[in-house]
Amino acid sequence: MSDYLNSFRLRNQEKIDSNQMDPRHLELSSLFEFSQTLNSSLDLKSILDSLLFVPMGRMMIGKGMVLLAVNESACKIATVKGLPADLIGSTFEFNDKPGDVVLINSDSDYSNLPEIFIKNKIKLLIPIKSMNQVTGMLVLGQKLLAPGFNEDEIHFLSSIGNIAAPAIENAKVFEKLNTVNRQLDHKIQELNTLFEIGNELNRLFDQKEILKRLSYSLMGQMLINQFFVAVKTDNTLKVVYKKGSIFSEENINKCLKSGIGKNDFQTPLRIEQTEEQLKNKFCDFGIKIIVPMVVQDQVRGYIFLGSKLNKTGFSESDVEFLSTLANIAIISIENARLFQETLEKKRLEEELNLAKNIQTKLLPDTMPVISRYDVHGYNIPSKSVGGDYFDIIKLNNDEFIFTIADVSGKGMPASLLMSNLQAGLHTLHQENYSLAEITFRLNNLIYKNTSIEKYITFFIAKLNIPQNKIFYVNAGHNPPYLFFKDGNYEELSTGGIILGMMADMPYEIGELQMKPGSYLTMFTDGVTEAMSPDDQPFEEFRVIDFFKQEIAKPVSCEQINLKMIETLYKFAGDPTKDDDITILTLSRKE
């Protein structure tokens, strides 16, 4: 640039010395060359430097600067010569920004000008206008070899200001386009990075691995190696990942107890921009920004981030990147959780199916043929497996045992306790014990092997075919009913307490005659407690009314059981939604 200026001055001096053209022609020639120089470049700094160097070199001016307008009253120093370089970038206000040339001849002329002009003894202000708007200013100090600026010089300087205006505007537009393009390139790179990270995280179904990849992304893209991640579990923040030594367990707990999570925020929180109390809390721990992890407008966690390794702050672009990355990460974490839950559910279903198959084999698969008698049992578990139990055991050709039981609870625990009862019963009946002794020993077995909140209601009956008698013990079970052909019925309640409540409890034996055409029905409380849509239980009186009506004409035990199940479904919709249902019916043929 200095070579160009020297050549420019020499050519002009030669033309003046040779008197080959008049001053006006010389001025036009200079302005033409100046215009060509400015229009050959789109670099704003180069244009501003040329705008400053040409008049200062031609007129031997020691100080100068170019200002660019920031708004209607403020300007920013864009370049300087003969002044400290640290002035570049300074912004100051004009009391009354001049729209015409200002020539300063005395101290009083500085009254409406910024102090920087007074300090540096500025003598001339040339406005740079575009579309009749002041977009900048050429500011010059005093000449070194002459007392002031004459009219021709001011006219010349005004002309170069006018010539420079469109070149400056074009360079500013070009600079803005370059800035926008750089920002766009950066955004595209960020989007590609986020897309790659998202694809990678979506292929993972392990939370630890997802958080490890998140750590790599924060380090690689943001140069952050101090952070921790807290995810909401049962509406409580729980730290699931930590990296860096500055976050001790004590500091992390203080952060989580600071109120974060109670009043969720869905945009990143820069600590230096928060209220003083919150700023002091987190700055002490080295936290610079807190990024929420959002899924479907619900905050599911936060990333607490320390400083960058290069100690630079977080730009708006950085914050946007971190926010998107956090949301991608929490979606992957949620997907991993749901995937693991699905696997666990599938595993449990497989176990339940296995348990169901085992439990099904504990119940009678076929109904025995009993001379002059009909029998049928039916069981519908509420879950895949249940706690209801019934059994029919042949002692000999003349005696059969019928039993029904209801274990407290449902599902796997109830089915395990039911299996224990079944195994105990099948062992004890072989010892020729009485029904009272069998029940006594079963009670002690259940009491010994379970806690107090686990118990079993139990009913056992023995049919003596030659005598047509029923001997029974009721251990806290829903009383079965023996219906006679004439419409009367007996309630079978003799016995004792529920199995498993207290040890060494005595039990009594009841006895009834099975008359021709009579029906003995045994059932669990799933029948009587089946609830209608308006929360009315089926209750015992409906069971009684049902059997009185159904046995008026001869009907098989299977038919009456299935009719009872059908009645329950009509009454309750799905009677098994709350409890297992079991019915065991025995009748003496006419």
What average pLDDT does range 234-250 have in this prediction? 80
Are 6 and 134 members of one domain? yes
Are 327 and 381 members of one domain? no
Give the pLDDT of residue 19.
Answer: 47
Of 154, 175, 196, the residue that ends a domain is: 175
Quick check: 161 and 138 in contact, CB under 8 A?
A: yes
Are 222 and 90 members of one domain? no
pLDDT band at residue 45, thresholds of 50, 70 and 90?
A: confident
Give the pLDDT of residue 588.
Answer: 95
User: Does residue 171 fall inside a structural domain?
Assistant: yes
Place of tokens 């015409």: 100
pLDDT band at residue 457, thresholds of 50, 70 and 90?
A: very high
User: Does residue 352 fall inside a structural domain?
Assistant: no
Give the pLDDT of residue 531.
Answer: 92
Q: Which of 437, 412, 413 is nearest to 424 (CA)?
A: 437
Single-letter residue type at 34: F
User: Does residue 191 fall inside a structural domain?
Assistant: no
pLDDT band at residue 404, thresholds of 50, 70 and 90?
A: very high
User: Does residue 458 fall inside a structural domain?
Assistant: yes
pLDDT, tens digit (0-9, with 9 covering 90-100), for 319-360: 888 888 888 888 888 888 888 888 888 887 777 777 777 777
Give the pLDDT of residue 287.
Answer: 83
CA distance 333 to 337: 6
pLDDT, tens digit (0-9, with 9 covering 90-100), for 550-588: 988 889 999 999 999 999 999 998 888 878 899 999 999
Reply yes or no on whether the pLDDT at 489 is more than 90. yes
The count of domains in the chain is 3
Q: In this prediction, what percent of the chain has a pLDDT beyond 70?
A: 87
Are 167 and 244 members of one domain? no
Q: What is the CATH number of the domain that holds 24?
A: 3.30.450.40
User: Does residue 125 fall inside a structural domain?
Assistant: yes
pLDDT, tens digit (0-9, with 9 covering 90-100), for 193-205: 667 777 777 777 7
Reply yes or no on whether the pLDDT at 247 is more than 90. no
Are 43 and 76 members of one domain? yes
Q: What is the DSSP string of 378-425?
A: EEE-SSSS-SEEEEEEEEETTEEEEEEEEESS-HHHHHHHHHHHHHHH
DSSP state of 257: T
Buried/exposed 269-301: b ≥16 CB within 10 Å, e otherwise: bebeeeeeeeeebbeebbbbbbbbbbeeeebbb
Domain that holds residue 100: 2-175
DSSP state of 363: S
CA distance 210 to 330: 9
Reply yes or no on whether the pLDDT at 18 is more than 50. no
Give the pLDDT of residue 326.
Answer: 86
Are 234 and 122 members of one domain? no
Single-letter residue type at 59: M
Of 175, 196, 230, the residue that ends a domain is: 175
Q: Give the 3-state secondary structure of residue 124.
A: strand
Reply yes or no on whether the pLDDT at 313 is more than 50. yes
Reply yes or no on whether the pLDDT at 16 is more than 50. no
What average pLDDT does range 508-522 have in this prediction? 96
Are 144 and 211 members of one domain? no
User: Does residue 512 fall inside a structural domain?
Assistant: yes
pLDDT band at residue 20, thresholds of 50, 70 and 90?
A: very low
Are 427 and 546 members of one domain? yes
Are 495 and 535 members of one domain? yes
Of 306, 339, 372, the residue that ends a domain is: 339
Single-letter residue type at 513: Q
What average pLDDT does range 62-80 have in this prediction? 89
Most confident of 60-64, 102-106, 506-510: 506-510
pLDDT, tens digit (0-9, with 9 covering 90-100), for 125-155: 889 888 888 888 899 988 888 778 888 888 8
Q: What is the CATH number of the domain that holds 405?
A: 3.60.40.10
pLDDT band at residue 262, thresholds of 50, 70 and 90?
A: low
User: Does residue 180 fall inside a structural domain?
Assistant: no
User: Does residue 506 fall inside a structural domain?
Assistant: yes
Q: Is the dihedral of CA 302, 304, 309, 310 positive or negative?
A: positive
Are 397 and 280 members of one domain? no
Give the pLDDT of residue 220.
Answer: 80
What average pLDDT does range 183-195 have in this prediction? 68
Are 31 and 151 members of one domain? yes
CA distance 177 to 159: 28
Reply yes or no on whether the pLDDT at 10 is more than 70. no
What is the number of H-type helices and E-type strands within the chain? Answer: 14, 22
Are 163 and 208 members of one domain? no
Q: In this prediction, what percent of the chain has a pLDDT beyond 90?
A: 29
